[in-house]
C-alpha cells in the first residue's frame, strides 16, 4: 500500500490504489469467478490469468479520471471507506449493492444500521477502510506542472487502455461467453457497480423532475353487506424477513407455529415476494403495480391500496415497529413506535413486537362502529441480530446465536435463533387472533398476515437478503401468507371456507394479489379493483 518512504507520482498512486482494490476489495468477485470456472469445463488458464490484469488496467484507467490535485485525496478517502463496507457485506454475507440495496440502505434508520456493527465489521473497517484512508491522506504525491502532468496522465491512460485492448483482442469471445454464463459477476465489481447503483438512485430520487402525484380509486365505496349489523374489522400483520421454509405450516420439521396451530389459520402455499428488501417489497406490495412493472418513482407518486381503502370510507390505522412504512401509510393515521416508549419491551435501539399488541389494545378500545383495517408492521425476523427479536421467555430453540456476526455461528445455532423469531411472530399472530375473538360481539373479525421478503441463512454462502431478484435464491423470495376469519366474518362476507382451504393448498400467489384481496375483503368497489387478482373472489358467494 502507499508509504512515505518515497514520493509518489500521480500515475504511480493511481496504479497502486487500483492494485489495492483488485487484490482486496474484489476478493468476492474472484470467488464468483471461481464458481463460474468450476461450472465451465476446459477453460483456458491464460484467459483466467488475464482477469485480474484486465480489472487492474480498467480500474487504473477509470481512477485516472479522478486523480486531480485537490480532488484526489478526498475522493479516494471517501471511496475507500465506502468500498470497505461494500466489500465486507459481499465477503461475509454475499450481499450485492445493486439499486434495490442502495435504496434499502438510504432508507435504513440509525437503530437498524447499528445492528450490523460487530467486532468483525469494525476490524474490517479499521484494516481495509480507515488504515488505507489514513495512508492516502499521508501520501506524499508529487504533482508536475499542469501540461506536463496532463501529458503523463494521457500516456498512462493510453497504456492502461492498450492493456485492456490487447487482452480483449485475444480473448474477447472468452470474456463475452463467460460474462453471458455468469451475469452476476458485474454486480461484485468494486467500486464501479455500487457507485453506478448509487448514482442511479440519486438521479431517480433527487435529480429527475418529480412525477405528478396520481390519486387512485377516488370512486371507491364501501358495499359491505353487514347482514348481521356488525362492521368488518381486519387486522393486517405485515411481517419482516420471514421465509416460508421455516414455517411448520409449510412442512418444516420444527414446531415454529405452535401458538397458532389450534386457531384454524389458512396457510397459502407457494407465495412469493415482490422484492428481496423492505424498501422495495413494502411499497410494491401495496401498490397498484405488479412486480414485473413496478417502478419505485411511480409507486411513491400514486395512491396505495391503503389510500383506496381510505377513499372508500374504511377507517385505516398503521402501527409500525420496523423501519417505517416507506410512504405506504403517509396519508392515513399512523404511529411509529418510540424505541424508548416501554421500558419492559424497548431498549432504546429496538422494541419487541409485543409493544404492538399494546397499541392494538388501545385501538380496539377506541374502535368506532365502522369497517376498520388496523395494520401492524412488525420487526419480526429482522437480522442479523435475530437474537434481539424475541424476549428470553420465548427462547425455545437452543443453542442459539446471540451475536450479529452470524457467519461465525454454527448452522444449528443460526437456524435455532431464526426459528425463535418465527415462533415469536407466531405468538404475536396468535395474540392478535385472541384479541379479535374478544371483539366478535361488536365486529366481524379477520386477520391477514404476510411477510415482505425472505432471508438467506448461509445457503450457498449467502446471508441476510437484498439479492437482485433475477439471481435471488428461493430463501429470499418465498414467504408465508396466513389468514384467519371468524365464523361471522366468513358468513357475513359470503366466504366459502372449504373453497378457500383448497385455494390455500393449491397456492401460487404473490404480493401482486394483496391490493385487490384487501379491497375484496373489505367490500370496496372501485374501477381500480381487479377481481382476477383477488385471492378471495374465487371463493365468494
Domain-terminating residue out of 206, 223, 250: 206
- What 171-177 contacts at long range (C-beta under 8 Å, 24+ apart), as own/partner pairs, is 171/44, 171/47, 171/50, 174/44, 174/47, 175/47, 175/54
Is residue 34's pLDDT more than 70?
Answer: yes
Q: For 506, which DSSP code?
A: H
Q: Are residues 289 and 163 in the same domain?
A: no
Count of CA atoms in the C-beta half-sphere (13 A) of 368: 9
Q: Are residues 95 and 29 in the same domain?
A: yes
The answer to whether position 185 is within a domain reads yes
Give the residue, 226 or 505, on which the prediction is more confident: 505
Which helix (H) or strand (E) segment is 267 a member of? Answer: strand 266-267
pLDDT value for 2: 43
Q: Are residues 292 and 427 in the same domain?
A: yes
Contact 86, 138 (CB under 8 A): no
- 82-135 pLDDT per residue, tens: 999 999 999 998 888 888 888 888 877 777 777 788 899 999 999 999 999 999
Contact 191, 21 (CB under 8 A): yes
Q: Are residues 459 and 505 in the same domain?
A: yes
How many CB atoms lie under 10 A from the CB of residue 31?
Answer: 15
The answer to whether position 3 is within a domain reads no
When pLDDT is cut at 50, 70 and 90, the band that residue 6 belongs to is low
Report the CATH number that the domain containing residue 306 is assigned in CATH. 3.40.720.10
The answer to whether position 445 is within a domain reads yes
Q: Are residues 183 and 77 in the same domain?
A: yes
What average pLDDT score do residues 322-349 get? 94
What average pLDDT score do residues 216-227 get? 90
Place of cell 380509486: 217
Distance CA 279, CA 450 (A): 16
Q: Are residues 417 and 515 in the same domain?
A: yes
Percent of the chain scored above 90 by pLDDT? 82
The answer to whether position 32 is within a domain reads yes
pLDDT value for 107: 79
Q: Going edge to edge, which strands form the sheet with 315-320?
A: 266-267, 481-485, 444-451, 232-239, 372-377, 315-320, 333-336
Q: Are residues 190 and 281 in the same domain?
A: no
Q: Do the bridges between strand 463-464 and strand 456-457 make them parallel or antiparallel, or are there none, so unpaired?
A: antiparallel
| 316 DSSP β-pair partners | 373
Distance CA 200, CA 255 (A): 44
The answer to whether position 227 is within a domain reads no
- What crossing angle do the helices spanning 27-39 and 45-64 adopt, rounded to 10°? 150
What average pLDDT score do residues 469-490 get? 96
Tell me the three cell numbers of residue 364: 380496539
| Number of domains into which the chain is organized | 2
Is residue 168's pLDDT more than 60?
Answer: yes
Contact 247, 422 (CB under 8 A): yes
Is residue 73's pLDDT more than 90?
Answer: yes
**Residue 403: phi, psi to the nearest 5?**
-155, 160
pLDDT value for 3: 45
Count of CA atoms in the C-beta half-sphere (13 A) of 121: 18
The answer to whether position 461 is within a domain reads yes
DSSP 180-243: HHTGGGGGG-TTHHHHHHHHHHHIIIIISPPPPPB---TT-EE----TTS--EEEEEEEESS--
pLDDT value for 5: 42
Tell me the three cell numbers of residue 142: 508529487
Q: For 424, which DSSP code?
A: H
Q: Taking Cα atoms as reference points, which of 387, 407, 522, 396 lies closest to residue 463? A: 407
When pLDDT is cut at 50, 70 and 90, the band that residue 228 belongs to is confident
Q: Are residues 152 and 257 in the same domain?
A: no
Tell me the three cell numbers of residue 415: 437456524
391 is in which domain, residue-wise?
234-539
Residue 196: alpha-carbon gap to chain centroid: 19
How many CB atoms lie under 10 A from the CB of residue 492?
Answer: 20
Distance CA 406, CA 418 (A): 11
The answer to whether position 212 is within a domain reads no
pLDDT value for 12: 96
**Using alpha carbons only, what angle is made at residue 293 by residues 289 and 296, rounded to the nearest 5 degrees?**
70
Which helix (H) or strand (E) segment is 317 a member of? Answer: strand 315-320
Is residue 171's pLDDT more than 60?
Answer: yes
pLDDT value for 1: 47
Output b/e per residue, 516-539; b: 16+ Cβ within 10 A: bbbbbbbbbebebbbeebbbbbeb
pLDDT value for 4: 46
Q: Taking Cα atoms as reference points, which of 220, 158, 164, 180 lies closest to residue 39? A: 180
Contact 502, 474 (CB under 8 A): no
Q: Are residues 238 and 331 in the same domain?
A: yes
How many CB atoms lie under 10 A from the CB of residue 52?
Answer: 16
What average pLDDT score do residues 503-516 get? 97
Q: Are residues 88 and 145 in the same domain?
A: yes
The answer to whether position 154 is within a domain reads yes
- 270-291 pLDDT per residue, tens: 999 999 999 999 999 999 999 9
pLDDT value for 106: 84
Which helix (H) or strand (E) segment is 334 a member of? Answer: strand 333-336
Distance CA 513, CA 464 (A): 25
Q: Could you tell me if residue 308 is left (phi over 0), alpha (psi between -120 and 50 degrees) or otherwise beta?
A: alpha
Q: Are residues 192 and 320 in the same domain?
A: no
What average pLDDT score do residues 439-459 get? 97
User: What is the pLDDT of the chain when averaged over all its residues?
Assistant: 94
Q: Are residues 298 and 357 in the same domain?
A: yes
Distance CA 473, CA 180 (A): 19
When pLDDT is cut at 50, 70 and 90, the band that residue 375 belongs to is very high
Domain-terminating residue out of 189, 206, 223: 206
pTM: 0.83
Amino acid at each position: 500500500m502507499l508509504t512515505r518512504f518515497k514520493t509518489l507520482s500521480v500515475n504511480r498512486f493511481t496504479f497502486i490504489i487500483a492494485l489495492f482494490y483488485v487484490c482486496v476489495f474484489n476478493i468476492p468477485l474472484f470467488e464468483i469467478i471461481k464458481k463460474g470456472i468450476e461450472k465451465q469445463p476446459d477453460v483456458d488458464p491464460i484467459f483466467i490469468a488475464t482477469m485480474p490484469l484486465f480489472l487492474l488496467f480498467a480500474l487504473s484507467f477509470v481512477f485516472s479520471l479522478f486523480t486531480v490535485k485537490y480532488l484526489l485525496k478526498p475522493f479516494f478517502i471517501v471511496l475507500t471507506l465506502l468500498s470497505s463496507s461494500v466489500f465486507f457485506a459481499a465477503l461475509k454475507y454475499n450481499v450485492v449493492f445493486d439499486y434495490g440495496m442502495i435504496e434499502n440502505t438510504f432508507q435504513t434508520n440509525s437503530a437498524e444500521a447499528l445492528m450490523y456493527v460487530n467486532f468483525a465489521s469494525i476490524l474490517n473497517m479499521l484494516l481495509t477502510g480507515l488504515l488505507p484512508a489514513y495512508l492516502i491522506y499521508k501520501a506524499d504525491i508529487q504533482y508536475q506542472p499542469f501540461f506536463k502532468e496532463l501529458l503523463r496522465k494521457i500516456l498512462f491512460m493510453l497504456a492502461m487502455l492498450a492493456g485492456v485492448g490487447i487482452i480483449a483482442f485475444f480473448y474477447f469471445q472468452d470474456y463475452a461467453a463467460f460474462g453471458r454464463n455468469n451475469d452476476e459477476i458485474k454486480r461484485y465489481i468494486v467500486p464501479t457497480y455500487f457507485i453506478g447503483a448509487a448514482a442511479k438512485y440519486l438521479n431517480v430520487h433527487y435529480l429527475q423532475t418529480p412525477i405528478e402525484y396520481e390519486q387512485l380509486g377516488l370512486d371507491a365505496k364501501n358495499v359491505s353487506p353487514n347482514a348481521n349489523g356488525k362492521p368488518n374489522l381486519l387486522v393486517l400483520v405485515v411481517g419482516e424477513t420471514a421465509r416460508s421454509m421455516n414455517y411448520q405450516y409449510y412442512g418444516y420439521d420444527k414446531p415454529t407455529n405452535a401458538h397458532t396451530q389450534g386457531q384454524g389459520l389458512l396457510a397459502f402455499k407457494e407465495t412469493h415476494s415482490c422484492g428481496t428488501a423492505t424498501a422495495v417489497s413494502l411499497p410494491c406490495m401495496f401498490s397498484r403495480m405488479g412486480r414485473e412493472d413496478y417502478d419505485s418513482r411511480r409507486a411513491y407518486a400514486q395512491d396505495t391500496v391503503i389510500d383506496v381503502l381510505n377513499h372508500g370510507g374504511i377507517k385505516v390505522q398503521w402501527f409500525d415497529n420496523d423501519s417505517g412504512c416507506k410512504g405506504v401509510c403517509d396519508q392515513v393515521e399512523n404511529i411509529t413506535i418510540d424505541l424508548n416508549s416501554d421500558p419492559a419491551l424497548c431498549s432504546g435501539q429496538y422494541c419487541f413486537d409485543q409493544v404492538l399488541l399494546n397499541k392494538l389494545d388501545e385501538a380496539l378500545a377506541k374502535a368506532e362502529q365502522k369497517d376498520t383495517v388496523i395494520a401492524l408492521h412488525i420487526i419480526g425476523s429482522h437480522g442479523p441480530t435475530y437474537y434481539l427479536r424475541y424476549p428470553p421467555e420465548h427462547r425455545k430453540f437452543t443453542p442459539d446465536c446471540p451475536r450479529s456476526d452470524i457467519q461465525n455461528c454454527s448452522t444449528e445455532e443460526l437456524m435455532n435463533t431464526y426459528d425463535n423469531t418465527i415462533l415469536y411472530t407466531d405468538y404475536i399472530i396468535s395474540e392478535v387472533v385472541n384479541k379479535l375473538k374478544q371483539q366478535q360481539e361488536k365486529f366481524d373479525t379477520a386477520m391477514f398476515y404476510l411477510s415482505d421478503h425472505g432471508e438467506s441463512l448461509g445457503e450457498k454462502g449467502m446471508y441476510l437478503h437484498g439479492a437482485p431478484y433475477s439471481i435471488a435464491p428461493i430463501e429470499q423470495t418465498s414467504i408465508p401468507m396466513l389468514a384467519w376469519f371468524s365464523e361471522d366474518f366468513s358468513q357475513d362476507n359470503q366466504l366459502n371456507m372449504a373453497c378457500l382451504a383448497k385455494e390455500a393448498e393449491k397456492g401460487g400467489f404473490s404480493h401482486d394479489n394483496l391490493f385487490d384481496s384487501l379491497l375484496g375483503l373489505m367490500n370496496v368497489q372501485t374501477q381500480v379493483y381487479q377481481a382476477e387478482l383477488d385471492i378471495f373472489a374465487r371463493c365468494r358467494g
